Structure 1
Amino acid sequence: MITVQSPNYHTGMQSLPRPSASGSAPAAPSGAPAENGRRIDPLFCGPIELVDGNPSAVQPSYKIRAGGQEITFHVGHLTAKPVKFWEMAEEDYQTALSFLEPDIESLKRRYLVPPSEAEFARSLEENRKSPALMTYATITIAGQIVATIDNQGVVTTDDDVVSARLRGLLPDSINGTNGPDLAQARADAIAKLTGGRLNKSATAISQRAFESLPPLTPPQSTIDWAGLREEQERLQAQAQDLKQKRAEYLRQQTAVKHS
């Protein structure tokens, strides 16, 4: 089936974002690699400590301790050096701190939960009832339907020959918009190009009625508020710890200068 639509195509079934067959989980917060379900934060307030390593093995491995956790990494080589973020130059320290203080909109994006298959199917069923998706007209040749136009102006055809003849010849919009006016213009053009008969449907509506319809709505993503708040609290605690260590470091530096 081939569908032709306009740039101003009214949001409909074809434009709904479909989740994966298994259902999508919320995007995991960014972080460094984890082992056995544990996670090392990229900006934890503490140095990386190399505990053990076997770089000469066929699969080189290193064990590090960070944030009170020990994790084994199987890597080619270890390039990271111990870093104390509170001892960085001011610009670098502020950059590190900014990662621990993301704005709420950024967190919302990270904790968006896509609609489930059931929610997607329910939304499709609700949208199918909208007059916008009902048939405006059909074009028939020798009694066979070769093209269908809905009230948005979307053209659907299963005929490859008709599709090839229509390509690039149908109007994109009427007065910059879509709807029954566009549907009529496209139906007239298809009938003329194919020599077919235009049959207006009983479900056809007027442009004014079309413009008064509520918009078709795709299934909405939701926010994992519990996960978001937990992440907020964790980051806030780390940011506070980093600030305290920074303040202590600066006091020590000042004391050394005046000693």
Structure 2
Amino acid sequence: MHYRQTPPIQYLPVFEAAARHLSFKRAADELCVTAPAVGQQVKAFEAWLGKPLFHRHTRRLSLTREGEYYFALASDILNRHQQGYIQFKRQFDDKVFHLSASLFVAQEVIMPNYLRFSQYVPNTELRLDARVSYVDFALHQMNAAVRFGEGNWPDLEARLLAKGSVSPVCSETYLSQHADMSPDTLYQNRLLYSLPDMDTWGPYFWGSDRLPEQEPVLCDSYLAAIKLACEGVGVALGIFPTINKWMAKNGLVQPFDIRVNLNRSFWFVYLKGSNDPRLDQAYQWLKCLFEEMER
């Protein structure tokens, strides 16, 4: 490749940031340099190309046609570079295993058993990424994740950890104050919903012809909803088997002995085509943890 026939590669990150923000100052803040330094790099890039990339207005920037073209090109190049680096680290960094999980699974399942990881995956440091939403494998350096869902995510291999079922749960104190609670009267109670996809669970138990009599509490995570249930605020939806230990140690109870089997389970997922032998080892570790919760 004749590198001297193409613009210096160091121009691209600076130009891309300036074009994305349409501001030399905001680009400078992102890149930890000064705004004049960004402006000088952009001018040097424009001089090399022999074309203006920005229209410089009094208080704002806009892209020229040439700038729009090169912004799309630079964005694609830098995104590919980022994804390639992530793939490189995932394939060749064998001293660290990156695992993503929901806040609840991370806190209640993985962290209490963190030290047992080394029994299954020796000479490797486990780094846990706890989050509310699913991790994007294309954008983050992640070896694997634990997900709750149907197991049909594109581009991901999904191995079953445990089948999931759900049931309302509340504190013993709340139940004592609502002793006649049943599936037919559940809609009369304060329901605790959670994001991203557990904000309409009530009709699973009373049907779709009723609305909650009280305004539901919408929490930003499943963990937050369960904590509010423990405090006696209302009724949350417990996911089994991960809720079992929480119920045993935090006084949560089922107001009635009914569980609904959804078409959702807990899965160990990773990119299709991955050949890291540690994936099998980590799966065996997690499979053991989930089996222990079901006993």
Q: Same fold (TM over 0.5)?
A: no
Shorter-normalised TM range: under 0.3
Q: Give TM-score scaled by structure 2 length.
A: 0.24
Q: Give TM-score scaled by structure 1 length.
A: 0.26
Question: Larger helix proportion, structure 1 or 2?
Answer: 2
| Greater RCO (Cα-Cα under 8 Å, separation 6 or more) | 1
